Structure 1
Amino acid sequence: MKTLLVLLLSLIAVHADWSSSIQPYSSKEVPPFTPSKLDYTLSWNGAISSGKLTLEFGKQDKRYPDIFLTHCYGRSIGAAYALYPYTISFTSFAKLETHRPLVFVADEEDRKESIETKNSYKNPGIHHYSKTVETKNQQTHLKKHSFTAKAVHDPITAMLAIRSQPLKTGDIVQLCCHPFASPYLITVKVLGREKHLEHQCIKLDIQIQKIDTKTGLLKSYKKLKKATMWVSDDALRIPIELRSKVFIGDVRATLVSQTLL
């Protein structure tokens, strides 16, 4: 019984440690983001083109006047499509003034399955729902769970939260992000400033750990070994390039065009 008590207390302590360190939601107006369409090319090792990705930040929609709306869509192409046909489309709904997440919906499809996701961000956490349909036999699998933390982000509001920070060299920003089916602790360290791909950039080191939804314990995220991101060193702070060391190798997302919406 004493051993069990010590174990339970250690689990609570580990959970409290990362939970207390994450960046809280902003309660004030955040720096404005000029609505922009950003097109990226995806590649292996920066040489073999593997996909396309488009982000429409702050997209205007008369149906949602008080919402910061972001739409993202992309797909694999070329040889990558032949090996792994994949498409994705998702939309982030956040509060206009603070960029606090409200709802995140996504559709993913590959050769094996299609997945529909809806995450509702409630105080103090998130409600997750997803439906997976297997392509071969049309079997359906449902997932539902709730996860509690003082601030939980979707992929877009996490990026917006990072860009709103001072980002001085040596700064560390920690966020809890629940992008699809699982929560993660994202630790961002500012490495410095440099010119990258003809842009003046802020260089960021990104570490990701998976959070166990039952115990709150942090676990290694085996699919991602390391990630480095360069964001523009200006008022917009848009992602210029993301390089990720993942289980299939070096995957890069590189900005190829930017237009105002």
Structure 2
Amino acid sequence: MKPSYVVTGAAGGIGRACVAELVRRGAHVWASVRTDGDEAELERAYGEEVTVLRMDLRDAESIARCGQRVAAAGPLRGLVNNAGLARPGPLEHVPLAAFREQLEVNVTGQLAVTRAMLPALRRAESARVVTIGSIGGRIAGPMVGPYHTSKFALVGLTDSLRAELAPEGIRVVLVEPGAVATAIWPRAREAAEEVRAGLSPAALQRYGGQLAAAERSAARSARTGVPPHRAAETVVRALTARRPAPRYLVGGDARLAALLASLPFRLRYRLTEAKR
């Protein structure tokens, strides 16, 4: 019987690359997406090797239905918590509804999916939960505060799950990529333009330079980020290694930022604060 894995956010980027790598290694993949087009595309590409789940991390009922469907099919060797979003903008002006959505998807949603899949994971030997965090969960900068907040919270969530599930032999792993060349960067630039359009003249004068710097950084990340398959290879290693590490960094920029995160607080904050 083929080993079975769930990958959330499988429409593109790291999630789609994880699906491809797992199928290449002979696994069956439950791939979660939100739209008809993404479902049809996965079915065309992989046929019976992939079973599509329609899941929205903001919809508790859809998560519960998917968990029940997976559990009814048999043991689940691993879960890849990949789905997420990024909300840019100055924290003073980010709508609280958008901030709540950021946490709902990137933190609460990850826990909800993990809980829904635990009955199936408990039926497998050496089951794994691999969550896609970010180097942005170790070090924070301006204009992406909601995203950083969610990724820092994800570190605590993952560490607690790791401790709680250890007695059952379920390994919990956090993968922390730096910049990965996915559609998140064009979407981030579009979102930043929307934020800019909604700022008052006074707010734009105060934060316009920081927004412009964030947009340049996003454009640079889109050009220089590692390809998604690099992150997927690390995820699959975490899913299949006999003794996986608790955390994996992906990319040279992630390793550099991890080093920066180890600096004394005063120096770290001086290096990451916005400049006038």
Asked if TM exceeds 0.5, the reply is no
What is the TM-score of this pair, normalised by structure 1? 0.31
Q: Which has the higher strand share?
A: 1
What is the TM-score of this pair, normalised by structure 2? 0.30
Q: Which has the higher helix share?
A: 2
Q: Which fold has the larger relative contact order, with Cα–Cα distance below 8 Å and residues 6 or more apart in sequence?
A: 2
